[in-house]
Structure 1
């Protein structure tokens, strides 16, 4: 019989049907089948059938095999094989109902009905089997009692109830699929949480890597350059200039240590509000800080970019314009966050123009990674000094 796509939507198995079923559910059918079988064998052995003994024993063997087969999943069987196995179980149980009405064998047809409802995915196949089993049970019972004179004819309405366990089987099937779907959803949620955790860890690693690059990369490269220069000067007999290069390397190392400490402090300030972090940074650097707009939550990477830009801008101001007044302004807008760092400039002839410019490059790269912009340059006349302006999306 064909049991194709016109019925599969009725009870189509989820893609995760291979998940382990509930242990308690798997014990119900084996217990019922084993109980009926044991009682039937005891009754048939104690009171051997007077008529059709061979047929009754053969049918008992058939329902035993079909009942044991129902203990296992049928998902690997083809549709026609499932239909055939359920049909044999139901028909053999219906005939036993009629031929051995005084034994527990009458229960096999009811188990077969429930098994068809639970195992088969096709609605047409299920109702065809259960309907046929009901008709065969009624006809065979009437024939066995009226024509073959088999003793112990059951009450007439019992054969009409053969199809009722079908709904028990369907309910168990739907419950199994619901549990399977719930397990699958739980697995997907766990995988999504693990994936999010891995992504967060990778983002954090990237953020720390940028901090190390920004803080240590510039200092170490400068130190290496100065030491190489000192080595070359010593080889050329210019000891005084080599000593100066070594002292510059030492100054870079001290500056790098300070920058590293500030970066570590910033990394540990993720839970502290950004305005408070900048205020502390300004206080420790003899600068002023002002906040405009309504402060709100910003992503961690945006806050870190603001903090690192402020650190670099303050450091540059103190390095290139010693004694200048430094001001920080943090402004919150609807979709942007802006940081402006300005200095009042060094006295005439005192501005230090040394530096590689790597700090500005690092700040621009950090802003670009977050779809922001960074501008740095002198203030427009008649104002004197330097300004660094950072804009980042919130």
Structure 2
């Protein structure tokens, strides 16, 4: 029995079995058979048998996929049991009210049963209860008919309660699934954000390192050891800045509620007394196209006392000047301007040429850090792509604020291979920076970012709303 009957049904079935025994005992003790004949005993047996079949046979919602014949047998047993019990309620002095009540309540309350089954059972009880009294020459009692109404109300209440419980469970299941989907979407968004930040940091720092090391190699091959040493020193500073940016990106991922723009974004390396000029590319027979950073008077940039770190620690090491100074809160327009100027200065020191326009006078202060960080990353990505895919070409950059919008436009001529159809445009060369940039701006109010070819130039455009509302 334990292998067939579910554990949660064992106690109810035991109580029903006890009720059946009490009904049989009541009929015997009440001498109903002696007073009205053997048919009362047969009626009692049929009522108890119908009661047992209804409780033992599986409900349609308990065993999905069962044969329809069992469902038909269960419904027939319900109606037969109600008819027999109702007709013999008065002759048994109300003893058969128990099977009548159980069968009517179950027929109405079962959500898997059709409504007509409960209505038919109640109608049969209403008609046959007084007929049984007339057949045995007893006066029909109104209380027995009132009992039928009570069974109907109990059945309706239980059915509505069952439907409400089922709907609640379905709603809870949907909510759990929605929360699971939201968690998966949040995890995916976090992974995409982490991938974008890591790409921005590594593409900028490693790309700059490649250019600087290539330039150092070309200088060494040309016998210009002193200038090569300066270039290697600048490469080391760039590596330290990349490490600081990486730490800052990890800190932002660990504490997403504390936006970080970073005071090292695009920070230039050591500059000479004459300032950072626009380095012209030099070509070497073995090293290919190289970028040699030059000072304002054309000489190689060398470290000066002003570029030495105040902290005596080594750059890029704990306690050194390149150790990240930590996040700062929402930045005013001057901080975004400072980050942009540092990125432009770094681009020039890496051999790039850029004409920039920074017009942030109308930008509201403070500019939210996520907004400022997104524009700084977009400018960083555009300049890195220009150095990587079109080295030596002049870049035009514009960062302009109006009363409502902040817009960034960066463009550069396409490399000769891309113009002639011999090579892909920057957006097609295996990187994810432009995709991450578009995703980052899509999360900003009124934000959008695009990149593509236009009139022989590769153009990166980004915009976002800065005004409230």
TM-score calculated relative to the size of structure 2: 0.53
C-alpha distance in structure 2 between counterparts of 1:81 and 1:32, whole Å:
23
State whether structure 2 residue 132 is matched by structure 1 residue 132: no
Determine if the alignment matches structure 1 residue 84 to structure 2 residue 69: no
CA RMSD of aligned residues (A): 5.1
SS in structure 1 at match of 2:46:
helix
The verdict on how the C-alpha distance between 1:311 and 1:200 changes in structure 2, with shifts beyond 3 A counting, is same
Is the aligned partner of 1:208 residue 2:194?
A: yes
Q: Which has the higher helix share?
A: 1
Deviations 1:62-109 (A, max 9, x none): 144135337x5332464634532321331232244244225x332211
The structure-2 alpha-carbon separation of the partners of 1:233 and 1:293, relative to structure 1 and needing over 3 Å to count, comes to: closer
Cα distance in 2 between the residues matched to 1:297 and 1:90? 78
Task: Find 2:55's aligned residue among 62, 68, 73.
Answer: 68
Task: Look up the match of 1:323.
Answer: none
Matched, 1:169 2:152: no
Gaps of 5+ in 2: 1-7, 262-329, 343-357, 386-390, 392-396, 411-424, 443-447, 453-458
Could you tell me which residue of structure 2 aligns to residue 109 of structure 1?
A: 100
Spell out, residue by residue over 1:285-333, the C-alpha distance to the aligned partner (whole angstroms, 9 max, x if none).
Answer: 8779946356799896x664223135568999xxx9xxxxx99654462
- Number of residue pairs matched by the alignment: 325
What is residue 123 of structure 1 aligned with on the other side?
115
Hey, what's the Cα distance between the residues in 2 that align with 1:241 and 1:294? 49
1:229–1:245 contact (8 Å) kept in structure 2: yes
SS of aligned partner of 2:80: helix
Measure, in 2, the Cα distance between the counterparts of 1:159 and 1:84: 23
The 5 Å alignment of 1:173-252 reads: 173-220=159-206, 223=209, 238=221, 240=223, 248=231, 251-252=234-235
**Structure 1 residues 229 and 328, CA gap change in structure 2 (3 angstroms):** closer
Structure 1, unmatched stretches of 5+, are 1-22, 147-152, 321-325, 342-356, 376-387
Q: 1:252 to 1:228 in 2, by over 3 A?
A: closer
For the residues of structure 2 that align with 1:277 and 1:312, how far apart are their CA atoms?
22
After superposition, give the CA deviation of every residue in 1:193-221 in whole Å (9 maximum; x if it has no partner): 22122112211211221222222134335
Contact 2:208/2:238 (8 A) holds in 1: no
1:160 aligns with 2:145: yes
Matched, 1:41 2:24: yes
Task: Mark the CA change 1:133 to 1:294 in structure 2 (over 3 Å): closer, same or farther.
Answer: farther
1:168 match: secondary structure:
helix
Kept in 2, the 8 Å contact 1:331–1:339? The answer is: no
- Given that residues 56 and 100 in structure 1 are in contact (C-alpha distance below 8 angstroms), is that contact kept between their aligned partners in structure 2? no
SS of 1:372's equivalent in the other structure is strand
* Equivalent residue number for residue 311 of structure 2: none
**Counterpart pick for 1:307 among 356, 369, 376:** 376
TM-superposed CA distance for 1:135, in Å, is: 1.5
Of stretches 56-65 and 168-177 in structure 1, the one that deviates more from structure 2 is: 56-65
Whether contact under 8 Å (1:134, 1:163) holds in the other structure is yes
Structure 1 residue 154 displacement after superposition: 7.3
What is the alpha-carbon distance in structure 2 between the residues aligned to residue 307 and residue 27 of structure 1? 69
Q: Would you say the 8 A contact 1:216–1:260 is kept in 2?
A: no
Counterpart position of 2:331 = 276
Superposition TM-score, scaled by structure 1 size: 0.61
Q: Tell me, in whole angstroms, the C-alpha distance in 2 between the residues paired with 1:42 and 1:114.
A: 23
Q: Secondary structure at the match of 2:463?
A: strand
Give the conservation status (yes or no) of the 8 Å contact 1:115–1:169: yes
Distance 1:65 1:193 in 2: 44
Question: How far did 1:363 drift?
Answer: 6.7
State the alpha-carbon separation in 1 of the partners of residues 432 and 120 from structure 2.
76
Distance 1:29 1:84 in 2: 22
Q: C-alpha deviations, 1:33-86, integer Å up to 9, x for none?
A: 45643432333454563231641452253144135337x533246463453232
Shift of 1:117: 0.9
Higher relative contact order (CA 8 A, sep 6+): 1
- In the other structure, the counterpart of 2:456 is none
The CA deviation string for residues 164-204 of structure 1, in whole angstroms up to 9 with x for no partner, is 11232122112211121122112212211221221122112
CA contact (8 A) 2:216 2:232 kept: no
Give the aligned partner of residue 362 of structure 2.
Answer: 292
CA contact (8 A) 1:338 1:389 kept: no
Q: Within 2, Cα distance between the matches of 1:242 and 1:99?
A: 121
